Structure 1
Amino acid sequence: MHRLPTLAILIVTLLISSCSSIELFKERTEIRPYKEYTSFVIVNKEVESSSFSDKLIDAKVTNELEIKMKELGLTYNQESPDLVIRYTSNEDPRQRETYNNQFPMWGMRVWDPWMYDPRFMGRQNMVSTKDYELIQLIVDFIDPKQDKMLMTITAVSEASNPKAKSKNLVKSAKKVIKAYEAHMEAN
């Protein structure tokens, strides 16, 4: 009896986590963190620079980065921050081919009493294209005292509509800050 709820929770967790895959890459580290950083600034916010084509998405990413950094105990300091955060994006529209099965569920429809589905009559190769966007959120963490890169983290995801794009970018910002936190704890 106890296995069924545990199995159901595991399956739901796997389905939810597989729906929107976000991959992280820690790309460049010029220096090791030499001290505990206590304050930060987001350059994009200060110079009102937009990295995304949609201003609302840009504001959401900036807000999420700021909230997560404050949750780590850092304060926002415009005058003399210990850490400078700058982010850019790469939005790449793409297409993928999808192949529709002419014989759904029954293989070659051997056991289907109707034998032929009129929706698929005369169509041998049913290929369609699906539009999606490959999105990269590239976040630089810079030590202004040494004028060197602490690290660069890139989050890569795909989205097929604006709502999914916004949701994936907010999740990407959260994952980037978690990776920053893990890097700081490891050193």
Structure 2
Amino acid sequence: MNRIALNKILTLLLLAGMSSCSSIEIFKENTEVPIRKPYTSFVIINQEVGMRSFSSEFIDTQVQIHLQEALEAEGMVYDTDEPQLVIRYTSNEDPRKRETTQNFNQFPYWGYRVWDPWMYNPYFNNQNTTSTSNYELVQVIVDFIDQEEDKLLMTLTGVTEVSSQKTKSKKVLKTTDKIIDYFLFQIQNAQ
């Protein structure tokens, strides 16, 4: 087995392992043209025009830095004059609520010598507790655009749930990592 095939298999196993132990989903959408060549230079539009995509400026800056560092680590060069690849990202931060109901039966079916319908009625004397928890459904949406053809290579959307503001930054960066890994895997398979 040659080295490239081995790298592809290991990358696939790594992606499968990462997706099985985390609560981040990646969706590929809006493909206008296939990936035909390796890309050596890129630009992040949000950074160049000062467009903020997250409600938190801190998280927005972290995503920009994270995208740039990850692609530069793969040997790509940040080029504002003639980039081969244009990257644009946005987010959707949707606050939601989840209700959880727990049923505590006062008189279970077992525990008495004889089941007595007057002592225990499953529709009467039950203690139900309902609790509501708040969470945020966060979508990180990244467009990868071929500069030469001015068409979308793909739009990758990472979806995750955030239960507290303390963990939001970490979850968004993990989602960004998975999007980058997916994109780089697609580039490797196209070559």
TM-score category by the smaller chain?
0.7 to 0.9
Distance 1:86 1:61 in 2: 11
Counterpart of 2:53? 51
Taking structure 2 as the reference length, the TM-score comes to 0.76
Matches within 5 A, 1:1-187: 18=21, 20-100=22-102, 102=104, 108=108, 124-187=127-190
Task: Work out which of the two has the higher radius of gyration on C-alpha atoms and give 1 or 2.
Answer: 2
Taking structure 1 as the reference length, the TM-score comes to 0.78
Distance 1:57 1:110 in 2: 54
CA gap of 1:126–1:40, structure 2 versus 1, over 3 A, is same
The offset of 1:145, in angstroms, is 1.0
Counterpart of 1:9? none
The offset of 1:125, in angstroms, is 1.5
Q: Which amino acid aligns with 1:66?
A: Q
Q: What's the CA shift string for 1:55-86, capped at 9, x where partnerless?
A: 00111111111111111110111111110000
Q: What's the CA shift string for 1:160-179, capped at 9, x where partnerless?
A: 11122111110011111111
Q: Which amino acid aligns with 2:97?
A: Q
Q: Which amino acid aligns with 1:77?
A: D
Aligned length: 159
Runs of 4+ in 1 over 3 A off after TM superposition: 100-103, 107-111
Name stretches of at least 5 consecutive residues in structure 1 with no aligned partner: 1-13, 112-121
Name stretches of at least 5 consecutive residues in structure 2 with no aligned partner: 1-16, 112-124
Counterpart of 1:10? none
Q: Which amino acid aligns with 1:170?
A: L
Q: Which amino acid aligns with 1:162?
A: Q
Identity %: 48
The offset of 1:96, in angstroms, is 0.5
CA gap of 1:53–1:123, structure 2 versus 1, over 3 A, is farther
